[in-house]
Structure 1
């Protein structure tokens, strides 16, 4: 069965974005993008690079881990505001929103249904794993469905910002097993955890 994987960049103090929710890797972003960080993404997670990065880096590799990406409205709208209506045309791309009525790119699927029911249905389909891109609200609503965490931990702290999971996530302690880790010379660490069966 396919797994739901929350693959996300986070700071040491557990924030995925600043308080304003802007793209931390954008032109005014704070995220440190070192050469070894980019090389690791290209080698290990090429499908998670947005289309403009794939083009700039001449990345044409198929997905290694994922063939589907899920994101919430706010995360999606960051790309649209930057002129990118589908950052992941090489993946099946679903955007969850109860307020949007249309999407500017016909290849992107707008989903107004319950995210949990949708993910459970996706898990039953054939294919590679499902990438939960974010944001925090969608991750919070899908908290109980996440099978794997891949945290790209940057060597920085923010003090305040948007956490890994929104406050909409219910209090439900989970135990995770570290199954892989990669430490880069630039200070970033990739940590992969699988959920311990309840």
Structure 2
């Protein structure tokens, strides 16, 4: 069965973006992208790079981890503001929103239904794993269905911002087993966790 993987960058203090929710790696962002970090993405997770980056880097590798990406409206609108109606045309792209209405791009599926039910259905289908891109609201809604966490941990703190999970996640302690880790010279760490069978 396919797994739902929350593959996300986080600061040491557990934030995925600043308080305004803007792209922290964008032109006005505060989040540096070291060369070894970018190289790791290219070599191991090429499908998670958006189309403009893939084109600029001449990446044609479809990747081995994911064939579907899920995101919430707020995360999707970051791309829209940058002129990208589909940042991941090489993946099946689903956006969860009850307010967006018609999709701005024919290749992007806007889903107004319950994210949990949709993910449970997706897991039963054939294919590679499902990438939960974010944001925190959607991750909070899907907390119970996340099978794996891949945290790209940045060696920085920001003090306040958008947390890994929003308050849509109910209090539900879970244990995670570290299954892989890579620490880069720049200080970033790629940490892969599988959900353990029982909570702490």
TM-score by length of 2: 0.98
Q: What is aligned with 1:185?
A: 185
SS in 1 for 2:160: coil
Q: How does 1:41-190 map to 2 (within 5 A)?
A: 41-190=41-190
> For residue 5 of structure 1, what is the aligned residue in structure 2?
5
> Aligned to 2:127, what secondary structure does the other structure show?
coil
Q: List 4+ stretches of structure 1 deviating above 4 A.
A: none
Cα shift readout 1:98-132 (whole Å, capped 9, x = no counterpart)? 01111211000000000000000000000000000
Q: Report the Cα offset of residue 63 of structure 1.
A: 2.1
CA distance in structure 1 between the aligned counterparts of 2:149 and 2:23, rounded to whole angstroms: 20
Q: Corresponding residue for 2:35?
A: 35
Residue deviations 1:125-147, cap 9 Å, x none? Answer: 00000000000000000000000
Count of aligned pairs between the two proteins: 198
The alignment yields a C-alpha RMSD, in angstroms, of 0.5
What 5-or-longer segments of structure 1 have no aligned partner?
none
Task: Name whichever of 98-107 and 175-184 sits farther off.
Answer: 98-107
Give the match's secondary structure for 1:102: coil
Deviations 1:30-57 (A, max 9, x none): 1110100000000000000000000011
Structure 2: 5+ residue stretches without partners = none
Deviation per residue, 1:161-181 (Å, 9 max, x gap): 000000111000000000000
